[in-house]
Amino acid sequence: MCIQNSVLILLGLLVALSANLTLGSSAGHRLRSSSDSVSEKGPSNPSIESRSIEIGASSWWSSWKSTSGPVTVTSEPTKVTLPSVGGSYNFHQGGHHVKHRPHRVYTDGQYTKPEPPSGSDPQRWVVAHNKVRAQYGVRPLAWDNKLANAALVRAQTCIWAHTPNDVYGENIAAGQTSIEQVLTNWVYGPQERDEYSPSNPIDTHFTQVVWKHSVRLGCAQKTCIEVQGTGLPQSPVDFWVCEYDPPGNVVGEYTLNVNAGLGGRPDV
């Protein structure tokens, strides 16, 4: 009987111990789950929270689609119509102004930027002059820094006028965008070479460029907000000045210094 009671007591203790272990294990798992949900997934019931987020996003998207119209993106550039602009240049003497064709280039209504001015390139100035002089059988010009400095002083005034009491020959231009364009206008522009007549010579840029007794050259360019006196609409505008020594366009000496026939044809 004692043995039987002892067995029953032992079985009771085992059952009680088993129940405690089960409860302890279950509680420990919930603690770890709660801890994990706080540190990694937020709320203790992620499935419910996930559904709430999905429902909220879906509701926002439906609302946005119902209130927003279609968005159209276009890469077509806006075309801007620019006013015509031109240049102006002056003869060596007299105040006579001549207009020439605009220097800006247009393609299908769109503006093409002209080449940047380069007025401080002695080699380009000398080559541009001497190409023309070679056609008329006169010796090439040589660059002179003293003349270039005098040209710069004139150009920096940004005033459309010749140097008062200048001891050099002087050509000025405004509105052109390159050295080569300046020389083209001085030689082939209106009332330049084509208008030359040995029987009735007049002073022009052309006659100074090909003047036989001029042997030294110095030029400069200044970009001005405006060149006062030109009336040119563009801003900024480039002002170009060249000085020649000895000076050309001397009254009574044209036939001796300009090797050109009627219409400026080379007479060599």
pLDDT at 42 over 50: no
* Spatial separation of the C-alpha atoms in residues 116 and 42, rounded to whole Å: 65
Q: What is the DSSP letter of 252?
A: T
pLDDT band at 267 (very low <50, low <70, confident <90, very high): confident
- For the ranges 2-6, 73-77, 144-148, the lowest mean pLDDT is seen at 73-77
Q: Which ranges of the chain would DSSP assign to H, the alpha helix?
A: 2-36, 46-67, 122-135, 145-155, 179-188, 205-209, 254-257
* Spatial separation of the C-alpha atoms in residues 99 and 85, rounded to whole Å: 11
Terminus-to-terminus CA distance in the chain, angstroms? 155
Residue 91 burial (CB < 10 Å; 0-12/13-18/19+)?
Answer: buried
Highest mean pLDDT among 40-54, 82-96, 192-206: 192-206
50 or 213: which leads in pLDDT:
213
Q: How many CA atoms lie within 13 A of 207 on its CB side?
A: 29
Q: How many CA atoms lie within 13 A of 58 on its CB side?
A: 6
Quote the mean pLDDT of the chain.
Answer: 71
**Domain residue spans of the chain:** 2-67, 87-264
pLDDT at 220 over 70: yes
The predicted model gives 177-191 an average pLDDT of 96
- Match 């010579």 to its residue by tokens: 201
Per-residue pLDDT tens for 95-151?
222 323 233 332 233 333 444 444 569 999 999 999 999 999 999 999 999 999 999
Q: How remote is the C-alpha of 212 from its chain's centroid?
A: 41
pLDDT at 87 over 80: no
CATH of domain 87-264: 3.40.33.10
Give pLDDT, residue 120.
66
The predicted model gives 164-170 an average pLDDT of 96
Q: Which of 220, 210, 218 is nearest to 167 (CA)?
A: 218
pLDDT at 22 over 50: no
